[in-house]
Structure 1
Amino acid sequence: MIINPIRFSKHNQSYVIRSATISDAKSLSEVRLQIDGETEYFDRVQGEHYIDEYEYKEIIERDRKSDKNLLLVAEVNNEIVGFLRCIGNDLKRTSHKVEFGLGVVKEHWGIGIGKNLLQQFIKWADCNGIRKITLQVLETNKKARTLYEKEGFIVEGILRDDKLLSGNYYQTIIMGRIRP
C-alpha cells in the first residue's frame, strides 16, 4: 500500500514520512543494520537476519502491491533515518489484523519520528479496514510502551524470559489496539 509524503517539523528539524520506493532498498538495508547495533530493543544483534538491497527491493515491491502491508520511511535531508513495517495476511480468520515494528536511528530520537510514523500508520490502518494492530515490545523499552499506550494500545500478554540480553532474561510485552 502507498501513502503520500507528509512533512513534519520539531526543534528546527524537519522530516518527511512516506511510503518506501524501490530506490530506498539500499538505504533501508543500511539503516536497519545501523539501528540493530544502536539498541537492544530489537530481537536481533547487529548483522543477524540481515536483509540486503535485493531482498529489500522484493519486500518493497510486495508491500506496495498489498492492501495489508505497509512500509513507511522517515527522511531527514533526503536520508532515511527510520522506518515502520506492517505485515498482514489474507487468511479468513486473521485478515482483520496486522503486526508492525518500527525503528529510528538513535541520532534522531526525540523529534517525534517514531510517534509520527506510528500515527500515520494507525490512520492508514483505520482507513483501510484493519480492525486490530499488534506489536511486541521489550519490557525495558518504557518510552515505546508509553507511546503505544498513548495511541490506544493495551497489554494483551507477557512472554516471560523471552529475550536474552547480556546474560539476563527479559519479558516481551504483547500489545494490541482494536479500532474504535
Structure 2
Amino acid sequence: MAVDLKRATIPFRDRQRMRIKGRQVVLRPADNGDAEELQRRLARVVREGVYLDETPDSLPGKQETKEEIREIQQRGGMYTVVEVDGEIAGAAILKRGSRGISRHTVRFRTWLTPGYRGMGLGKKLMEYTIGWARANGVEKINLDVWSSNDRAIELYKKYGFQVEGRLRKQAILRGDYVDEVFMGLFL
C-alpha cells in the first residue's frame, strides 16, 4: 500500500523531533559542525561495499564536506541529518538540477549507518524529504539504487517512486552482478 503524502495539511518544519523505539530522534538541516561526524559515518557505510558506489579514498574530507553542505543548501537543495540520542545516524540529500532547464528536479541520496537500520528512520527521512521537496517547489525527485537493495526499493515504491530505467550488470557486489535501477517520483 502506497503512502499518500499529497494530502498532508501540516506545514513542513525543517526541524522535527520524535521518539522512536524509546529513542530521541531529530531530523534537521545539516550545518558545518556536522561535517566531521558525517564524514566518519559515511565512511562506515562505504566500507560495507554494498550501498554506495564510492571508496573510502574517494570521500570528501572535513573541509570538502562543509563546502558540500553549504553549496547544496545555497543552490536551493536539502542536506538533512537524522540524529538518534544526539548522534548522527544518517543523512538525506536533495541536489537541485544544475541548469535552469532542470531546476524543477532534484537528485536524492540517503544513507543510514549500521546499528540504526530497521528502526523506521528510512521512512521518517523519506517523509521529511518529500515534505521538504513539496514545500520548496520541487516537481520531481530522482534516485538510483542497486537492484540488490530490495529493502530500499520497496520503501521507495511505498512512497510512490516508479522504476524509470535500469543499467544491467552495472556493478559487482560481493561477487554478483547487480543492476543500477533509476526511479522517479512526480510531486
Counterparts in 2 of 1:75 and 1:39: CA distance versus 1, 3 Å:
farther
Q: What residue in structure 2 maps to residue 19 of structure 1? A: 29
Q: What residue in structure 2 maps to residue 132 of structure 1? A: 140
Task: Identify which of 84, 100, 103 aligns with 2:111.
Answer: 103
1:77-118 Cα shifts (integer Å, max 9, x gaps): 211110011111352321111111100011011111111111
Tell whether 2:68 aligns with 1:59.
Answer: yes
Q: What residue in structure 1 maps to residue 6 of structure 2? A: none
TM-score, structure 1 as length reference: 0.91
Q: What residue in structure 1 maps to residue 15 of structure 2? A: 5
* One-letter amino acid matched to 2:157: E
* Structure 1 residue matching 2:129: 3-state secondary structure: helix
Question: Per-residue deviation at 1:39?
Answer: 5.0
TM-score, structure 2 as length reference: 0.88
Tell whether 2:26 aligns with 1:31.
Answer: no
Q: Tell me how far apart the structure 1 counterparts of residues 154 and 89 of structure 2 sit (CA, whole Å).
A: 22
Percent identity of equivalent pairs: 31
Mapped contact 2:147–2:179 kept (Cα < 8 A) = yes
Count of residue pairs brought into register by the alignment: 175
Q: Tell me how far apart the structure 2 counterparts of residues 113 and 178 of structure 1 sit (CA, whole Å).
A: 23
Q: Tell me how far apart the structure 1 counterparts of residues 102 and 14 of structure 2 sit (CA, whole Å).
A: 27
Q: Tell me how far apart the structure 2 counterparts of residues 38 and 14 of structure 1 sit (CA, whole Å).
A: 26
Mapped contact 2:14–2:132 kept (Cα < 8 A) = no
Q: Which runs of 5+ in 1 are unaligned?
A: none
Mapped contact 1:87–1:98 kept (Cα < 8 A) = yes
Q: Tell me how far apart the structure 1 counterparts of residues 111 and 98 of structure 2 sit (CA, whole Å).
A: 26
Mapped contact 1:38–1:106 kept (Cα < 8 A) = no
Counterparts in 2 of 1:89 and 1:31: CA distance versus 1, 3 Å:
same
* Structure 1 residue matching 2:115: 3-state secondary structure: helix
Q: CA RMSD in A?
A: 1.4
* Structure 2 residue matching 1:109: 3-state secondary structure: coil
Question: Per-residue deviation at 1:38?
Answer: 3.1
Q: Tell me how far apart the structure 2 counterparts of residues 170 and 139 of structure 1 sit (CA, whole Å).
A: 6
1:1-180 to 2 correspondence within 5 Å? 4-38=14-48, 40-45=50-55, 47-67=56-76, 69-179=77-187
